[in-house]
Amino acid sequence: MKKLIKEPLLHFLAIGALLFAVNAWRSSKRPAEVNGPRIEVTAATIGRLCAGYERQFGQGPDAAELRGLVTAHVREEVLCREALALGLDRDDSIVRRRLAQKMEFLTDDVTSAAPPEEAAVERYFAEHAAVYAKPGQVSFRHVYFSKEKRGAKAGTEAAECLAALARGASDEAMGDAFLYGFNFAEREKNDVTALFGQDFAKQLAVLPAGAWQGPVESSFGLHLVRVDARSEAAPAKLSEVRAAVERDLNDERRVTANREIYEKLRERYEVAVDEAALAKSAVSKTAQR
Amino acid sequence: MKATVFASTLATSLAISTAALAADEAPGGDAGTLNKDKAGEAFKKRPYSPYADRSFPARPFFGDTHLHTGFSMDAGAFGCRLNPRDAYRFARGEQIIASSGQPAKLSRPLDFLVVADHSDNMGFFPDLFAGKPEVLSPPMGRKWYDMIQAGKGGEAALDIIGQFSQGTFPKELMYMPGTRAYRGAWQETVAAAEHYNDPGRFTAFIGYEWTSLDKGNNLHRNVVFRDNADKAMQVEPFTCYPPLGSTNPIELWKWMDAYEKKTGGSVLALAHNGNLSNGTMFPITEAFGKAIDREYVEARAKWERLYEATQMKGDGESHPFLSPNDEFADYELWDKGNLDGSEAKKKEMLEFEYTRSALKNGLKLEAKLGTNPYKFGLVGSSDAHTGIASFEEDNFFGKTTPQEPSAHRMTAAFMDNPKTGVKIMDWEVVSSGYAAVWAQENTRASIFDAMYRKETYATTGSRMTVRFFGGWDFEAADANSREPAVIGYSKGVPMGGDLYEAPAGKSPSFLVGAMKDPLSGNLDRIQVIKGWLDAKGDVQEKVYDVAWSGDRKPGADAKVPSVGSTVDVANATWSNTIGAPELITVWKDPEFDAKQRAFYYVRVIEIPTPRWTAYDAKRFGVKPLPGTRMTTTERAYTSPIWFNPAK
């Protein structure tokens, strides 16, 4: 059964059936008028109530609980039919938006019911290669000089340390505490920006590799930096990013299909807007700007 | 992906350094005995791998545990058109078009997101074709299948609709009476999280909000899954309407328990907006007509690992009525009434609504019932109903779609209940907050586990970094060590942890440090807030200034004077010429009593910066209403460290 539920073809056939149901309902009169005062709680309804209960609580309802579910269902059905008969659904923005949303669910389901063809995946990947490219990375060490602790001396002390580093001194005992630590391996520029700020990330990007440099200023203070390795952005292979490509292609198709369907459905209607009322109702906002 | 590399690099480097150690030793003579001094020395040397000293969390991950999209009924009704996929795309740094039609992008990506749409009205997946595999084969079905595969989904859908209206749809696929056929938003929510979860780079959690409203009092909880779709799809979210649902949190905890038993998975819950619960969020005597007993406190402690201490509908850390000596307690409060404004606030409700008083009352309940139900970690999150998790003051997209950036949001009313006199203006909506989590790696499992152990802190929207360790042996020099975290983890416990059994004559000491958000204001001060149960069984609290910028001297009341302000409201600018980019210190409790239960947490306060209202006034040229707050002091609240006296 589980396998069956995953079958995409089945999915959209299910949607098909649903559409049929929606259509049948739409073309019929209000249920209370059609069915009279009869509410049938069929085996299918009971099955659905049981399944819903089981999905929430991990096991099915006992007799008393099931009776309670049926009572609640009947109550909902009675009120629902009366509400529909009164037309309470018509001017309710929540009901209307929910229905509109369900129409989009249908389209969403149809578009994602079948996996895209290989050629389409390859084409999409080629067109969006930049999105999937592996970002450039940098590995670096740094020594931090806190302006808060050292005040105006921070700059000269950093310069002295830089000279010592050039003579081969170890960086391990130099500088001040830094909550993120001192070794940063294979970091993307975004990551450096998030940790050190934009200016530091920009300066780091152009520092030559291999030797201690600086001081470089960050949002926190001064840093001596040694870039150890740097890799430029490189194109990805489709096999490495296939899942993301398929996801994005499906998303694009879903958006396109929703728009197309709306446009087609829209063509079935003739829309007349009371332009005079529109013009009269609009508020001038120029004063506020 | 990156995270897996990280883990394996770590393992490899450890293996290498052990091997290298043995090799180094070999030439000296007896390869069979390892000289302990030399081994120690070798281990102190920095291993080749730069990751090797990071088996502990090295950086906080920032996210939102509480974002609604158009799938939430009220968000949809307000006009939110974004869905969970849009929300995840935005959070991971993509530019999207907001429901109001304007482009939106984060200053920098978030690390994780929980789309927590309301649990009610989520529907069931129809089981239309149970036992009818023959429906897979009609030729028409195959045709549509091929169309969809080729990217013509729109055409296929229209064709299907056409077949229906002409009555030519295959009979065997027809609607089965009694089956209410609609697809669940829950399935789509889970699918969206699965699609955008990208281990190592961006974590998309599965979650939902259990929207319990009891007589207009907010008792909401967000439920977060550690698990993937295979487990999460086995259940439906717990709802609030009987007979399936309930508004009583005890029933939610039962649901959580049943989920874990059924699937072997893990979930946790976060409550939020105690400030709108009118005294019912943190009860100490009874709830829903039942006494607070052992069962209640144990279940609450087990399932509610975190509390959302700050968000858009008001900050919930502390209240000036409860903490009259805390001059920073009066921050972005919403204390006029309950969630729907149907009942006005009374002062005596406040004690059961705010984070600090709950932490204090938890100590009391622990003394009485053996378990502290309010032993939660702290996070901030948003409760935005826009699908847009952006809470920086200069990039604020509001609480609901009508409050997305426009010239009106400075002057409109958010809620107005003339009967109770509860009126809240749009300008009072807070641009807050984020959850910061000290996790080893950016994955569902790692972040969830860090949430579970409460190694988290709340921020009001700024991304500052805060470390907080408690132990018995921290010394002033530890604050000057180059890597405080290494010392912190080796000598103490991190935020969210426990201290037991005080060594004779010792007081707990704390290593606490903070770095500013590179894009936000400097830091004004770090405070430690202590709460304890005194010898008489009464709860007490005290706020200590422990580190601050510049050479300000504490006054006679031991309080550090104000840092001042550089905010130019008219131009919505400020300068970091006051405050400090980082603060770190070791603080020892000067008034410790080893017989008394206590907790300690940290509050970090930024210098004043322009509030979102200042950016709006400047950008839209709108005159603010009288009384509108135009500056803010962003802050962070860490999870407490609890001291548990010997029994």
Strands B112-115 and B203-205, how do they pair? parallel
Calpha distance B437→B379 (Å, rounded):
8
Q: Of A121-135, A193-207, B32-46, B532-546, which gets the smallest average pLDDT?
A: B32-46
Calpha distance A167→A212 (Å, rounded):
11
Out of B125, B154, B408, name the one closest to residue A257 (CB). B154
Reduced to 3 states (helix: H, G, I; strand: E, B; else coil), residue B284 is coil
Put the strands of the sheet holding B582-588 in their side by side order: B492-494, B465-471, B509-515, B582-588
Strands B631-632 and B609-610, how do they pair? antiparallel
Q: Tell me which H or E stretch contains A39.
A: none
Instruction: Kindly state whether residue B282 falls inside one of the protein's structural domains.
Output: yes
In this structure, are A141 and A226 located in the same domain? yes
Tokens of A245: 């490509």
A241 pLDDT higher than 70: yes
In this structure, are B419 and B513 located in the same domain? no
Output the furthest CA–CA distance in chain B (Å, rounded). 93
Instruction: Kindly state whether residue B625 falls inside one of the protein's structural domains.
Output: yes
* pLDDT of res. B38: 42
* pLDDT of res. B72: 80
CA distance A26 to chain B (A): 11
* Residue contact B154–A256, C-beta within 8 A: yes
Instruction: Kindly state whether residue B132 falls inside one of the protein's structural domains.
Output: no
In this structure, are B235 and B311 located in the same domain? yes
In this structure, are B520 and B611 located in the same domain? yes
Instruction: Kindly state whether residue A284 falls inside one of the protein's structural domains.
Output: yes
* Residue contact A111–B235, C-beta within 8 A: no
Out of A93, A219, A264, name the one closest to residue B518 (CB). A219
Out of B121, B135, B482, name the one closest to residue A13 (CB). B135
In this structure, are B387 and B521 located in the same domain? no
Q: Considering only CB atoms, which chain B residues are within 8 Å of A179?
A: 465, 467, 484-485, 513-515, 582, 584
* pLDDT of res. A90: 81
Beta bridge partner(s), residue B223: B208, B269
Alpha helical stretches, state H, chain A: 2-6, 8-27, 31-35, 43-57, 63-85, 93-112, 118-127, 129-132, 147-150, 154-166, 189-196, 198-206, 238-267, 275-281
Which domain range does residue A90 map to?
Answer: 2-95
Contact B238, B207 (CB under 8 A): no
In this structure, are A195 and A175 located in the same domain? yes
Out of B144, B149, B259, name the one closest to residue A58 (CB). B259
Classify residue A274 as exposed, middle or buried by CB count within 10 Å of its CB (0-12, 13-18, 19+): exposed
Sorted by sequence, the CB contacts under 8 Å of residue A92 that are 6+ apart come out as none
Q: What is the dihedral of CA B496, B500, B503, B509, to 10 degrees?
A: 10
ipTM confidence score: 0.73
> Residue ranges of chain B with pLDDT lower than 70?
1-54, 77, 119-142, 157, 160-184
CB atoms within 10 A of CB A266: 9
In this structure, are B240 and B108 located in the same domain? yes
A25 pLDDT higher than 70: no
- Indicate the residue among B420, B435, B450 that finishes a domain: B435
Alpha helical stretches, state H, B352-460: 355-369, 444-452
Q: B15, B121, B209: which is closest to A94 by C-alpha?
A: B121
Taking one residue from A and the other from B, the number of pairs with CB-CB distance under 8 angstroms is: 275
**Chain B residues 351-390 with CB within 8 Å of chain A:** none
Calpha distance A121→A102 (Å, rounded):
28
In this structure, are A8 and A80 located in the same domain? yes
* pLDDT of res. A255: 85
Query: Tokens 């809240």 map to which residue?
Result: B424
Calpha distance B71→B69 (Å, rounded):
5
Dihedral (CA of B465, B301, B220, B118) sign: positive
Calpha distance B266→B231 (Å, rounded):
9
Say which amino acid occupies B214. D
**Chain B residues 170-209 with CB within 8 Å of chain A:** 173-183, 185, 188, 195-196, 198
Contact status of B625 with chain A (Cβ, < 8 Å): no
Instruction: Kindly state whether residue B459 falls inside one of the protein's structural domains.
Output: no
Calpha distance B592→B645 (Å, rounded):
11
How many structural domains compose chain A? 3
* Residue contact B255–A56, C-beta within 8 A: yes
pLDDT 10s digits, A150-174: 888 999 999 999 999 999 888 988 9
Which of B53, B81, B132, B135 would best serve as a mutation to test chain A binding (most A beta carbons within 10 A)?
A: B135
| Local confidence band at A17 (pLDDT 50, 70, 90 cut-offs) | low
CA distance A34 to chain B (A): 14
Instruction: Kindly state whether residue A100 falls inside one of the protein's structural domains.
Output: no
Contact A200, A223 (CB under 8 A): yes
CA distance A281 to chain B (A): 17
* pLDDT of res. A19: 57
* Residue contact A14–B129, C-beta within 8 A: yes
Residue of B nearest to A146 (CA): B582
Residue of B nearest to A248 (CA): B195
In this structure, are B24 and B85 located in the same domain? no
* pLDDT of res. B430: 96
Instruction: Kindly state whether residue A190 falls inside one of the protein's structural domains.
Output: yes
How many structural domains compose chain B? 4
In this structure, are A206 and A160 located in the same domain? yes
Contact status of B133 with chain A (Cβ, < 8 Å): yes
Q: What percent of chain B has pLDDT over 90?
A: 67
* Residue contact B244–A56, C-beta within 8 A: yes
Q: Which residue has the higher pLDDT, A234 or B46?
A: A234
Instruction: Kindly state whether residue B265 falls inside one of the protein's structural domains.
Output: yes
Contact B340, B216 (CB under 8 A): yes
Tokens of B145: 């299948």
Calpha distance B149→B144 (Å, rounded):
9
Q: Considering only CB atoms, which chain A residues are within 8 Å of B182?
A: 18, 102, 105
Q: Considering only CB atoms, which chain A residues are within 8 Å of B49?
A: 185
In this structure, are B9 and B112 located in the same domain? no
Which domain range does residue B16 map to?
Answer: 2-44
